[in-house]
A and B are shown apart, each in its own frame.
Chain A
Amino acid sequence: MSAEDKIPVTVLTGYLGAGKTTLLNRILTEPHGKKFAVVVNEFGEVGIDNDLVVGADEEVFEMNNGCICCTVRGDLIRIIESLMKRKGRFDAIIVETTGLADPAPVAQTFFVDQDVAEKTRLDAVVTVVDAKWLSERLKDAPEARNQIAFADVLILNKTDLVTEAELAAVEALIRGINPYAKLHKTQRSAVPLDAVLGRNAFDLDRILDIEPDFLEPGHHHHHSDEIGSIAITVEGDINPEKFMPWINEFTQVRGPDLLRCKGILAFKNEPRRFVFQGVHMILDGDLQRDWREDETRQSKMVFIGRKLNRQEIEAAVEACRA
């Protein structure tokens, strides 16, 4: 089955009351002519406006390698197996998680389970954030930080309830955790559908550039146990024989602390760009299109995670120079 034939899956996360259900109903009711299968938590909010709504238990299973970050959603594997027997009944799947859920097991399900990966593809993790209450949430709920760190698309909602200065502060807070997700400021979760669906965030072909929107120094200082991000740019070429073993080992050893990573690299004597992306220990990378004449051959990487040491990572990448 080719990538285009696979059913896209959007994961919708966000802390309770942030506007997740409002966004979901917006997606479902707009006149787009698309049919969705929606997977919601069994004990979650009611009032979802869709024909096909499936209740899930959010059961997280460890894989047998004994690693704490290598987890999948067992219930989701079962639900998708059943859903995929009804071809033509829906065009896309939306998985809504509870406010307390870690998005990693959901995302990893689409890479780890063979049968699920054969028929579906993860399109993007969309996180809805409440502009008014986020700073409070970040103090008492580690899940909220996880959900921001993991996102490909961030919906900063309820902007009408805060002042401009407060909004700027919340945005800075978010960018300190996740500098590369697409950020949309909304009221009542009003966002164009194409900002949320059809993102291909995990497709190596579509990782066109890594331009953190917010890279002012100073915002990366965070307590070592908190989630933060490290963006690295290297001018000149990288030696793949040094880089590949390093990134493989780094993601294996630091997998539990490393939530997401992405990179576009210039390998020595290689006319094509090497693109990689990862979720915890799951790493996917390939040579993609040629570097264009007007592009500078430089390597950029973003790492998002806990207890990441900038000096250590910078030194390791520096040692991979060609």
Chain B
Amino acid sequence: MTTQAQTSLTQNVTALDGGDHVITAAFIGAHPVLALADGCVKIITDGQTKSLAPHTGAPVLLGCVAGDTLLTGGEDGKIIATSADGSLTELADNKGRWVDALVAGPAQSIAWSCGKSVFCRDGKGQIRTWDAPSSVRGLGFLPKGYRLAIAHYNGASLWFPNSEAKPESLDWKGSHLDLTVSPDGRFIVTSMQENTLHGWRLADKKDMRMSGYPSKVRSLSWSHDGQWLATSGAEAAVIWPFKDKDGPMGKPPRECGVRPAKITQVAFHPKSLVLAIGYEDNCILLCRLTDAAELLVRRPVDGAGSITSMAWDGAGKRLIFGTSEGQAGLLTLP
């Protein structure tokens, strides 16, 4: 074997039939699935692609995995769950209002937002709503209890949908975008309009600022052990240590996958400290945190756009990805 072959996994990637801007590339159960901006959802089973139009022709705005289904929010204002067998279930109809954020939570619950309105739907189909002080950009369920963290202008709110109590607020001036909750539920981190991250330690609401990005951070991924948070937005994956009580405060972040291209997507392996890194030039690398070893998954292709979505399967054997120009692929680890 040549040196090139040893550091490259490009042979292990098979192309998938994309077509339009890939909004979500994911797995539902064992099945690779793609949700495209043109409204098409494609399910791949044994190399065969099944195409569906869950929003009856309307474009898909966003998507996420919920159990064995793919949830999509469309321009029709609906939230549809697509199963691997192709069956479609309408979970919500927001009467044409665009869904701005969508997440899946514990016990088959889901949450979404349209403008200021936040909706939580439990596993039995009971929907609760709350109006945030301003438009909502990011949502995240806490790992325990039925509790939702909501990012908005000037901070975040913590809401118990089944309680009448006023949501608890976490204040920090500015426009908060995406939100993520640490797997142990100790920290909440948001990305901000001004190219920074903001975090709160929930125990005492202590603020944490993570800055230095040249652009907005739009992809965040926790390591399987919850000790690291990988982020996009720079020409290296910036990985913050969250092991200690203070989180990343006073500690420099790790950096890996340095290339002359901005990182658009990051996805930690579900079982080891390996990070998949997707770039604006549609290149993909795997980076091992322990020794900074790098493996090439995909060489950049001219005109193929940026990596817009990337996900591992539950076993960590396969990685699916898609680009803004409708290319998609599947890496199967040897």
Contact = CB atoms under 8 A, between A and B. Distances in A.
B98 A86 contact: no
- Most chain B CB within a 10 A radius of its CB, from A55, A79, A82: A82
Contacts of A61: 153, 175, 193
Contact of B59 (A55, A63, A86, A115): A86
A78 interface: yes
A85 B21 contact: yes
Contact of B216 (A59, A63, A75, A114): A114
Interface string B183-224: 000000000011000000000000000000001100000000
Contacts of A77: 193
A74 B37 CA distance: 22
B194 A59 contact: no
A87 B61 CA distance: 13
Nearest to B59: A86
Nearest to B305: A87
Given A57-B115, A57-B135, A114-B215, A86 B21 contact: yes
A64 B37 contact: no
Contacts of B23: 85
A316 B300 CA distance: 53
A54 interface: yes
B186 to A, nearest CB: 26
Given A64-B194, A86-B59, A114-B215, A78 B134 contact: no
Interface string B141-173: 000000000000100000000000000000001
B100 interface: yes
Interface string B15-45: 0000011010000000000000110000000
Given A85-B21, A85-B37, A86-B37, A78 B135 contact: yes
Contacts of B135: 57, 59, 74-75, 78
Nearest to B215: A114
A78 B100 contact: yes
B82 interface: no
Given A74-B175, A82-B61, A87-B21, A59 B98 contact: no
Contacts of B318: none
Interface of A: 42, 54-55, 57, 59, 61, 63-64, 72, 74-75, 77-79, 82, 85-87, 113-115
Interface of B: 20-21, 23, 37-38, 59, 61, 96-98, 100, 115-116, 134-135, 137, 153, 173-175, 193-194, 215-216, 324
13 contacts: A42-B115, A55-B96, A55-B98, A59-B135, A64-B174, A64-B193, A74-B175, A75-B115, A78-B135, A85-B21, A85-B23, A85-B37, A115-B215
Closest 10 pairs between A and B when the two form their complex, measured CB to CB? A85-B37, A85-B21, A64-B174, A61-B175, A64-B194, A57-B115, A59-B135, A86-B37, A82-B61, A74-B175
